[in-house]
Amino acid sequence: MTPRKAVQYIRENQNNNKTFKSLFSSQYLGKFSSQELGGMITSINKEMAKREQKTIQEKIDFLEQSGYRVSR
């Protein structure tokens, strides 16, 4: 399964609030050990932090292009 197909499969198995359907959770996530799920959580948290930082940097760049000085 390619990464694109995996993402598509996961998206198809989400509820309207972007959480996993219980059937998907029990059949798919239930196959992983606690350690593997913990590793996934760590990786997901790292990816979320990168994306948050990217969003912040985009907003800082926009403000600086608009003539504002941004400092921390």
User: Residue type for 8, please?
Assistant: Q
pLDDT tens-digit readout, 25-57: 888 888 999 999 999 999 999 999 999 999 999
Question: Which residues sit opposite 20 in a β-bridge?
Answer: 14
Share of the chain above pLDDT 70, in %: 100
Confidence of residue 23 (pLDDT cuts 50, 70, 90): confident
Distance in angstroms (rounded) separating the CA atoms of residues 5 and 23: 19
**pLDDT computed for residue 72 by the predictor:** 79
CA dist list (Å): 55 to 13, 37, 41: 27, 27, 21
Tell me which of 72 and 66 has the higher pLDDT.
Answer: 66
Distance in angstroms (rounded) separating the CA atoms of residues 72 and 63: 13
Q: Where are the domains of the chain?
A: 1-31, 34-72
Per-residue buried b or exposed e for 41-65, using 16+ beta carbons within 10 Å of the residue's own CB? eeeeeeeeeeeeeeeeeeeeeeeee
Tell me which of 20 and 69 has the higher pLDDT.
Answer: 69
